[in-house]
């Protein structure tokens, strides 16, 4: 249950950049993630949904593509990952396929841009992801959301898994 998950928000590098700390089972982490970040999750979906449509996706195609990935997650050794995603959807109130689409956003966008082989919808200023690795501090960080409009949605998330890994 949620009682096992200890979570907190505190100021990050900027006053508007919360630090989210999640501990507990996959279910606990997903439920608290969905509850604590509900507004940010919806705002992310609204942004990416527009972008998906801009590059030519329709909802039924997205749903079909991501649910086929979902089936693989449930069959393979990734059940904890699948449980966490399912709980994020449940707690946030956003449909599961939309949470899956957010997790596959780059692949969905690149697949459609590559398939259309057009620069018409391409934004030259998209940039790339940013990665930080500091082995002595056990820090690995990555940001895939390079659109300026998403900056207000950033969070720092620290996760401690049941096995002690962070």
pLDDT of 13-54, one tens digit each? 455 678 889 999 999 999 999 999 999 999 999 999 999 999
- Chain-centroid distance of CA 84 in Å reads 11
Is 80 exceeded by the pLDDT of residue 147?
Answer: no
d(CA 24, CA 2): 8
Predicted pLDDT of residue 10: 44
pLDDT in tens, 47-93: 999 999 999 999 999 999 999 888 887 777 688 888 999 999 999 99
- The percent of residues in the chain predicted with pLDDT above 70, rounded, is 73
């Amino acid at each position: 249950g949620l009682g096992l998950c200890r979570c907190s928000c505190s100021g990050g590098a900027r006053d508007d950049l919360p630090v989210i700390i999640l501990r507990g089972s996959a279910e606990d982490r997903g439920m608290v993630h969905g509850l604590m970040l509900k507004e940010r999750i919806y705002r992310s979906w609204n942004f990416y949904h527009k972008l998906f449509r801009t590059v030519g996706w329709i909802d039924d195609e997205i749903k079909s593509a991501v649910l086929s990935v979902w089936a693989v997650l449930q069959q393979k050794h990734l059940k904890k990952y699948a449980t966490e995603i399912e709980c994020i959807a449940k707690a946030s109130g956003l449909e599961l396929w939309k949470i899956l689409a957010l997790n596959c956003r780059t692949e969905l966008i690149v697949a459609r841009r590559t398939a259309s082989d057009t620069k018409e919808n391409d934004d030259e200023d998209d940039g790339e992801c940013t990665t930080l690795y500091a082995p002595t501090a056990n820090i690995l960080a990555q940001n895939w959301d390079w659109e300026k409009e998403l900056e207000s949605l950033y969070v720092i998330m620290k996760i401690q898994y049941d096995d002690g890994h962070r």
